[in-house]
Structure 1
Amino acid sequence: MSQRKQTLFILSLVLLWYSSNIGVLLLNKYLLSNYGFRFPIFLTMCHMSACAILSYVSIVFLKIVPLQTVKSRSQLAKIATLSTVFCGSVVGGNISLRYLPVSFNQAVGATTPFFTALFAYLMTFKREAWVTYATLVPVVAGVVIASEGEPGFHLYGFIMCISATAARALKSVLQGILLSSEGERLNSMNLLLYMSPIAVLVLLPAALIMEAKVLEVIVSLGRQHKFLWLLLLINSTMAYSANLLNFLVTKHTSALTLQVLGNAKGAVAVVISILLFRNPVTFIGIAGYTMTVLGVAAYGEAKRRYR
């Protein structure tokens, strides 16, 4: 492949990655806040069901990546643990979207490096250079400032968003610990293949117990809004696409490029969500979010330099 074609290919992947990530985020917000669909656990189960089916098709039939097999009950138990934590992060994020604007949700989500560094230190005693830890100060300070300046601040939504962010970081650290041996390592697509069905088994009873009359209400909503089922299908497919494209972008770019693109993606999502949902923003809120994003960028650069 020529250099020009390679560049166009990567740009296309990044554009699709942005579209799927931002699309699923905005559709989640639309369904949960504007469409009367108030079932974040069931919505997450739909996402995981799509990931289970499409992962199987992509790996077994389309052979996008080689199939990796689970070699022991111990490895399966570790994958189940990761799946449960992952469920908690996605459900928490979806619950927060019922109460918080997407822009503030993204600002809080940008603090993932803080929790990752914290869990890595507590669970593996892995220490970074002091400069690296210093860069986490603006990451946290930015969210504190953004919280003060957020007109749509909701305490419960904020707690759910922080919990989801912490769970996402915990899953990342746990993955490095539990699947660290050479024989147990799985690439992200194979890990998703095995995690998704386990997640569905966890989420289905949780939805039926915790979200009263969920099936009855959804059927009723489907009759009132003829596009509900189509939106759910598109939303769930995009949830899988976001994972697939994240894997492909990671494969074809460097870790530093991925981090820069990820920070930019959050900023793009914030701008688009404000334009679409027209939620009020303040100068203080924007300043806080900007500080957090700059802190995350500095954290990534410090980790690269002092590794």
Structure 2
Amino acid sequence: MDWILILISGKVKKHVMRGKYSFGGGRSYRVGLPPLLILPSWRVQKVQCFGNWSRNDSKVIGDNRGSMVVKAASEGGAISLPKHWPLSKIQHPAINNNKVHNFLLKSQDPEEKLQDPVPRMKGSSRFFTVGLVASWYSSNIGVLLLNKYLLSNYGFKYPIFLTMCHMTACSLFSYVAIAWMKVVPLQTIRSRVQFFKISALSLIFCVSVVFGNVSLRYLPVSFNQAIGATTPFFTAVFAYLMTFKREAWLTYLTLVPVVTGVIIASGGEPSFHLFGFIICVAATAARALKSVLQGILLSSEGEKLNSMNLLLYMAPMAVVFLLPATLIMEENVVGITLALARDDSKIIWYLLFNSALAYFVNLTNFLVTKHTSALTLQVLGNAKGAVAVVVSILIFRNPVSVTGMMGYTLTVFGVILYSDAKKRTK
């Protein structure tokens, strides 16, 4: 059984079904500009695309069917295939006709209509997503707690060197994941201008990570997380200052409890340290600035990079920035680390494991983003901060006050309101 679908100038002119089964169910409608053809739920073994259509341009759209769109690189049309179809091969021979695009879909079984596999796969897919979220939580909270242990409890007082170890691991693991394991397609830097833009982002990224690690020397993890929850406030401020982008008044109003909660938590924090507080606020602001600048600098379609490719290029640049900083500001840190290792070899394993976790934070964040919705990610992110606070208190036994916890709760509540307001105003 063969299906031949002919799309002319991006619009469905006719579809031809060869075989004993009727086509049925096919319909054309618009989502934005490109027209989409939704097909019945059949398994597809092979897809041959004639014309300048590319699998690399595919992306998930948010319709009710959860379809995978194979989109023309230069033409306006699109064909929508259910994302659970196991596409084993996609070919696009050099037959370029700007008006006609032929799609040959061959079923896995020429004589039998296969059932929609979604119900059977739903349980395993849910289990996979839960595993991803658990890995994301574990790596995020793990690297945070281990940073705190090394920089505060263990007495390894070299946050710049620790950050450089993180970036070195991210450089190596990113190359292995993209160049060898093909986790995501490799995206290249296309111009010198794009290179300098990524360098600027890398420098701000370094500042945010180093300052965050420095703050852990002076502040408990619970208070660190409370301050970090104010990232939406700084993002809104920088977005307004740099792009003059105004949000709805309701959105700005939700930022009031975000800031108020941190003020209350600061007043009720038994382990408050002014320098640590200032550095942590600076780290939070730097993270927000990097997010805003990334949207500005890499806004064109030709310059956009997914988070894994961006890390591939930013991490080595960060090492270049951090190496002279650690040599100047943390003199003889390598010799001191080796001396510590002679007395306690566990420090080497701590550093290696901590650096590997730093990469998996980015990897699992990318995978969770890919396999969940934006709303789910926001909810999980807010919950992750609360889990980190509880776990850190249980492990480090740092003193907490009712006032401090009320302030942190108010901040998280404000972040949830902010996310909901942003969603409503879009």
Structure 2 distance, partners of 1:163, 1:222, is 32
Structure 2 distance, partners of 1:225, 1:268, is 31
Which residue among 211, 214, 222 is the counterpart of 1:95?
A: 214
Structure 1 distance, partners of 2:379, 2:306, is 22
2:234 counterpart of 1:128? no
Q: Give the 3-state SS of the residue equivalent to 1:38 in structure 2.
A: coil
Which residue among 361, 375, 379 is the counterpart of 1:242?
A: 361
Superposition TM-score, scaled by structure 2 size: 0.72
- Equivalences, count: 307
Structure 2 distance, partners of 1:294, 1:63, is 39
CA positional deviation for 1:216: 1.7
2:144 counterpart of 1:31? no
Structure 1 distance, partners of 2:268, 2:209, is 26
Q: Partner of 2:198 in structure 1?
A: 79
Letter in 2 for 1:86: F
Counting strand residues as a fraction of each chain, which structure ranks higher?
A: 2
Q: Partner of 2:265 in structure 1?
A: 146
Letter in 2 for 1:62: M
Structure 1 distance, partners of 2:239, 2:369, is 22
Superposition map of 1:181-192 within 5 A: 181-192=300-311
Deviations 1:53-85 (CA, angstroms, capped at 9, x unpaired): 000000000000000000000000000000000
Gaps of 5+ in 2: 1-83, 85-120
Structure 2 distance, partners of 1:221, 1:288, is 39
Structure 2 distance, partners of 1:195, 1:125, is 27
Which residue among 260, 274, 283 is the counterpart of 2:379?
A: 260
Structure 1 distance, partners of 2:292, 2:384, is 23
- Whichever of the two has the greater Rg, that structure is 2
Deviations 1:144-163 (CA, angstroms, capped at 9, x unpaired): 00000000000110011000
2:172 counterpart of 1:53? yes
Q: Partner of 2:413 in structure 1?
A: 294
Structure 1 segments of 4+ aligned residues over 6 angstroms from their partners:
none
Superposition TM-score, scaled by structure 1 size: 0.99
Q: Partner of 1:157 in structure 2?
A: 276
Structure 2 distance, partners of 1:23, 1:110, is 18
Q: Give the 3-state SS of the residue equivalent to 1:181 in structure 2.
A: coil
2:65 counterpart of 1:65? no
CA positional deviation for 1:212: 2.1
Letter in 2 for 1:40: P
Q: Give the 3-state SS of the residue equivalent to 2:280 in structure 1.
A: helix
Q: Partner of 1:15 in structure 2?
A: 134
Which residue among 111, 114, 121 is the counterpart of 2:233?
A: 114
Deviates more, 1:128-137 or 1:208-217: 208-217
Q: Partner of 2:223 in structure 1?
A: 104
Structure 2 distance, partners of 1:104, 1:17, is 21
Letter in 2 for 1:157: G
Letter in 2 for 1:254: S
Letter in 1 for 2:346: F
Deviations 1:157-188 (CA, angstroms, capped at 9, x unpaired): 00110000000000000000000000000000
Structure 2 distance, partners of 1:228, 1:211, is 17
Deviations 1:191-233 (CA, angstroms, capped at 9, x unpaired): 0000000000000110010112211211111112211100100
Which residue among 272, 281, 285 is the counterpart of 2:400?
A: 281
Gaps of 5+ in 1: none
Letter in 2 for 1:45: M
Q: Partner of 1:227 in structure 2?
A: 346
Structure 2 distance, partners of 1:263, 1:61, is 34
Deviations 1:232-278 (CA, angstroms, capped at 9, x unpaired): 00100000000000000000111111010000000000000000000
- Choose between structure 1 and 2 for higher RCO, CA contacts under 8 A separated by at least 6 residues: 1
Structure 2 distance, partners of 1:305, 1:268, is 27
